[in-house]
Amino acid sequence: MKNVMVCVTQQKTCDRLIQYGNNILGDNNGELFIIHVAHYKFNFLGHTKEGDALEYLYEKALEYDANLTVVRSNDVAETLANQVKKNKITHIIVGESGETDMNSNIVNLLGKKLGNIAELLVIPAVKLV
């Protein structure tokens, strides 16, 4: 059984990550989890764009019959790792981080916290030409 967690931001471009996660799940008897972790230092639903993005994520969760989780945390990597353990996640889908500092790169931090608990799949950013 596969349980796939797709880590998204509030950007509507995350649909490709959700599609990828759904493809990984395939016809398995597992679940698709969509999660957005907002750091306390950032606005959260304080702008119309954020509300629209949350509504978009909700619609995507319904479309893919996925569980949607939106939480606030000062430690994003730890929160994601806890969700992996709680939901028995086998595969994690994340977008490529633009952060070049490996000490603050969320993908790197998450990988260190998880070890071999789940397969971490990093999807490259789409390059606009």
**Mean pLDDT, range 67-95, rounded to an integer:** 94
**Mean pLDDT, range 71-86, rounded to an integer:** 93
**Mean pLDDT, range 32-40, rounded to an integer:** 89
Beta carbons of 8 and 57 less than 8 angstroms apart = yes
**What's residue 2's pLDDT?**
93
Beta carbons of 37 and 72 less than 8 angstroms apart = yes
Q: How far apart are CA 40 and CA 99, in angstroms?
A: 19
Q: How far apart are CA 97 and CA 52, in angstroms?
A: 23
Give the number of other Cβ atoms within 10 Å of residue 26's Cβ: 9
**What's residue 103's pLDDT?**
62
Residue 107 scores a pLDDT above 80: yes
**What's residue 85's pLDDT?**
95
DSSP 20: H
**Mean pLDDT, range 98-117, rounded to an integer:** 78
**What's residue 101's pLDDT?**
61
Q: How far apart are CA 4 and CA 42, in angstroms?
A: 26
Give the residue carrying structure tokens 């606030």: 72
Domains, the chain, ranges and CATH? 3-123 (3.40.50.620)
Residue 46 scores a pLDDT above 60: no
Beta carbons of 43 and 16 less than 8 angstroms apart = no
Tokens of 50: 């954020």
Positive or negative: CA dihedral 43, 47, 52, 55: positive
